[in-house]
Amino acid sequence: MTSAPEPRKRGPVSAVAPHGGDRDRGSLPMALLITLVAVSLSALLAPVVLTQISSTRATMERTRALHAAQAGIDTALGQIRAAADAAGNGLLEQLPACTMTGSLSPDGSLRPSRYRVEIIYQNVDGNPLGPPGDCVRTDVPDSALLISTGIDGPDGAFDAETPGARTIEATYSFQTTNANIVGGQIRLALANGADPLCMDAGPAEPIVAGTRLQMQTCQPGAGQQQFAYTQDLSLKLVGSESSTASLGMCLDAGATQVTNAYVAFQPCRQERVPRQQWSLNDNSNFQGTSNGATLNSFCFNLTSAGLPGSYVVLGACGTTANRQVFRPQTGVGTGMAGPATGQLVNYKQFSRCIDVTGFQTDPAYLIVWFCKHTPDGNIRWNQKWSTIPQATATGTLGRIRTVADSGTGYCLRSPGSTAAGRYVRLTSCPATAPATIPIELRWTVFGDTGDYATAYRIMDGYGNCLTPTDLTVPNPDTHDDGTSKVKVAACDRSELQKWNAPANLDQPLPLTEVNEVKEVIER
């Protein structure tokens, strides 16, 4: 008999309901909560994000407006500088108009920014050359005030009061002379320990014609004590230009030069006149001329020797230190000293020339002394180098030679060493140089090399550069009158190593006083 099959056993039944059941119903409130929090945070952050976007856009607009204003300054400056002929001489009739406008698209932006520049041409007093809006340029300006307003955006009328507008002012100074002399004090050579006295114009501004020159206690930086020694041999008060004295105020001997006549300030003359010519002689006196060619017998003297408040009058020349002997400080300028007179002028000590100490033919060292002058430029031999190699960009090799009153010639001799206590000296040498110049007598003179560091050097046969001892270091190595000694040093870019360089070699950029004067902000 056949039995029935045994029923199959079932496995355990799952406790989880199909499609998640109760667990999905528990997660729904959490999801809703998270969504609600996210939406709430978005609502809170939206104003912050919008504010940041607006702030960033405003910053970019302000920056573009400032760039536009600066572009206006650059454009005006370029047009002013372009108003010149091929030789670089300024052409008055080509100066740009008093108003110019333009636009630019920084970084290729489709939203150009705009600028408007107003140019106000000014005289030496800083006053406009003409009435407002008048752009007729018939007089040579001393400076130009540039006022540039920039606006971000191409649309609408240009208005400096537009929100976001930015305005920059700058002053351009025209170069009307080739001398960039900062000026300095002219001191009386007093005995040691006495308070130094300086030439002084007095406190009144502007200086009135006829104001007498006096000596006062030296005051560092005092404007009334800053003088410049010009190529015309005039002694000019720096910064004394005015509408009544366009060239400044110079020391004047008067129409008739007589003993005890006061030295006074008068407007500087365009042409060289004897009454305003003063030559620093061998004794460091300021000596006059009656004809503009030869020296006369009158020199500066104090009415009261060595006393502050003393006036300067015409009197005898001599060596009385507290009455007749003067010491121009560096920065006063070189007068007419330079290559044309056979002198070697140091650029850093810009009133000093290489000098054979005390007219000795075998001195222990040479000095860099106060540059000497005569009205005709024919100075004595101890500063007059009859042979100086021609200054060129690539350098010219030769000897540096002078001829003493005896007729014997002497050449500069390098010590061949930069060690302390080794100085440039003299040695006798014939007029004709040998085919091979001895190494200690070889000097290579450089002019404008195109590189500021190497320009206007004088290099010896050993590769060192001619230089005076430095007066600015503690306990400087000087002659007994405080002037520098002449030595050689390793060549560098120092101004102490530049000789017969033009006065404006390192003239600063003529654009000054650049400031933002106005920004219009929308409130």
In a domain, residue 143? The reply is: yes
What SS3 class is residue 459?
A: strand
Same domain, 188 and 321: yes
Same domain, 134 and 54: yes
- Exposed, middle or buried: residue 160 (CB in 10 Å: 0-12, 13-18, 19+)? middle
Among residues 307, 333, 359, the one where a domain terminates is 333
User: Do the Cβ atoms of 324 and 312 come closer than 8 Å?
Assistant: no
Give the tens place of pLDDT for each residue, 372-385: 999 999 999 999 99
- The identity of residue 6, as a single letter, is E
- The predicted pLDDT at position 381 comes to 97
- Comparing 168-172, 248-252, 276-280, 295-299, the range with the smallest average pLDDT is 168-172
In a domain, residue 349? The reply is: yes
What SS3 class is residue 197?
A: strand
- The predicted pLDDT at position 265 comes to 98
Alpha helices in 288-373 (DSSP H): none
Closest CA to 413 of 401, 429, 424: 424
- Exposed, middle or buried: residue 394 (CB in 10 Å: 0-12, 13-18, 19+)? exposed
* Distance, C-alpha 149 to centroid of its chain: 28
Same domain, 242 and 153: no
Same domain, 353 and 502: yes
Same domain, 160 and 227: no
User: Do the Cβ atoms of 395 and 446 come closer than 8 Å?
Assistant: yes
Averaged pLDDT, 57-77: 79
> Per-residue pLDDT for 309 more than 90?
yes
**pLDDT confidence tier of residue 2, bands split at 50, 70 and 90:** very low
- The predicted pLDDT at position 77 comes to 84
Give the tens place of pLDDT for each residue, 136-165: 666 677 788 889 888 887 665 666 567 778
Give the tens place of pLDDT for each residue, 279-305: 999 999 999 999 999 999 999 999 999
Give the tens place of pLDDT for each residue, 311-338: 999 999 999 999 999 999 988 989 999 9
Domain total in the chain: 3
Backbone phi and psi for residue 87, each to the nearest 5 degrees, phi listed first:
-85, 0
Same domain, 166 and 184: no
In a domain, residue 35? The reply is: no
Give the tens place of pLDDT for each residue, 188-242: 998 666 789 999 999 988 899 999 999 999 998 888 999 999 999 999 999 898 8
| Residues near 483 by beta carbon (within 8 Å), at least 6 away in sequence | 352, 355, 367, 368, 369, 370
Same domain, 255 and 157: no
**Torsion over CA: 45, 49, 52, 54 (sign):** negative
- The predicted pLDDT at position 14 comes to 41
Q: How far apart are CA 145 and CA 43, in angstroms?
A: 53
Same domain, 346 and 289: no
- The predicted pLDDT at position 112 comes to 81
Both tokens of residue 202?
């007095």
User: Do the Cβ atoms of 265 and 241 come closer than 8 Å?
Assistant: no
Q: Which domain holds residue 255?
A: 178-333
Same domain, 407 and 315: no
In a domain, residue 7? The reply is: no
> Per-residue pLDDT for 18 more than 90?
no
Contacts by residues 103-109 (CB-CB < 8 Å, ≥ 24 positions apart):
103/68, 103/154, 104/67, 104/68, 104/71, 106/64, 106/67, 109/64
Q: What is the mean pLDDT of the chain?
A: 84
Whole-structure pTM value? 0.66
User: Do the Cβ atoms of 243 and 228 come closer than 8 Å?
Assistant: no
Q: How far apart are CA 284 and CA 77, in angstroms?
A: 44
Unique residue bearing structure tokens 């290729």: 108
- The predicted pLDDT at position 515 comes to 72
- Comparing 71-75, 183-187, 188-192, 218-222, the range with the smallest average pLDDT is 188-192
**pLDDT confidence tier of residue 178, bands split at 50, 70 and 90:** very low
